[in-house]
Amino acid sequence: MPASALHHGVKPLICFSPFGRLRLPDFPEALCHTRHGMVAFGGDYEPVRLFNAYRRGIFPWPRSPQEPVYWFCPSPRFVLLPEALHIPKSLRRVMRQTRYEIRIDTAFRAVMTHCAQVNRPDCLDGSICSWITPDMIEGYVRLHELGHAHSVETWLDGELIGGLYGVSVGRVFCGESMFALKPDASKVAFASFAMSAKAAGFVAIDCQAYTEHLARFGAQHMPRKAYLKLLMENRDLSPMANFWQTPIPVFRDT
């Protein structure tokens, strides 16, 4: 990351420690956690904050623009390992017949914006509620421009119809959110990406928390300590050269 991006406008964090809450400029390597995995609150979405967080196994999970940012490193962690990847038969049939096209990093902001418009299960009144806030989108777009955040997109006849985004930390991809405007559009993007990432040397896709959708692909719970060990061993290693500049084909099982 360029030095010019490292120390601009970064707000202090309130981090948990054995000595109580500490006001710090950034995340320390060793953190204490609440029972639910929260390690800190406050701060902002500056690229350096996001970059350092993911390198330590931490991700933001805000509740609303009116509240501070909450930062988590939960245990257990929901993780997809390459050897556990499973593509359901029904999705294999879809992918053999689909006209969908997969693109990388051509519409990052649009993918995040669509993800922010997905109704989440905790919406009480049926209105749109999302943990993806406008300032969060701006922070991740800047991280994307620096080459660390990426989008995997599903297109049909020139229209963006689904996809996902996340942050690449060496050989670990930290998935954040996905959306679909057409049937199976996000599933096709995820499955195609997972197959390509496996071949490119990625050791894990971090799914953060359990969902039935990702469990069908083979994601499993992993203790925090084991996940952090895996991350630390691989965060400074690179996957296949030019992976993010290489087109990802729709996986077709023939």
- Give pLDDT tens digits for 1-26: 443 444 444 688 888 877 678 887 78
| Amino acid found at 139 | G
pTM for the structure as a whole? 0.90
Locate tokens 């559009």: which residue? Answer: 185
CATH number of 77-245: 3.40.630.70
CA 55 → CA 157, 232, 234, 242, distances in Å? Answer: 37, 8, 10, 21
Q: Is 71 within 8 Å of 43 (Cβ atoms)?
A: yes
Q: Is 194 within 8 Å of 219 (Cβ atoms)?
A: no
CA 224 → CA 79, 208, 209, distances in Å? Answer: 10, 11, 12
If pLDDT is split at 50, 70 and 90, which confidence band does 124 have?
very low
Q: Specify whether domain 3-72 bears CATH 3.40.50.
A: no
If pLDDT is split at 50, 70 and 90, which confidence band does 45 have?
very high
pLDDT higher than 70, residue 125: no
Assigned token pair, 64:
């609303």
Domain with CATH 3.30.70 in the chain: 3-72
Domain with CATH 3.40.630.70 in the chain: 77-245
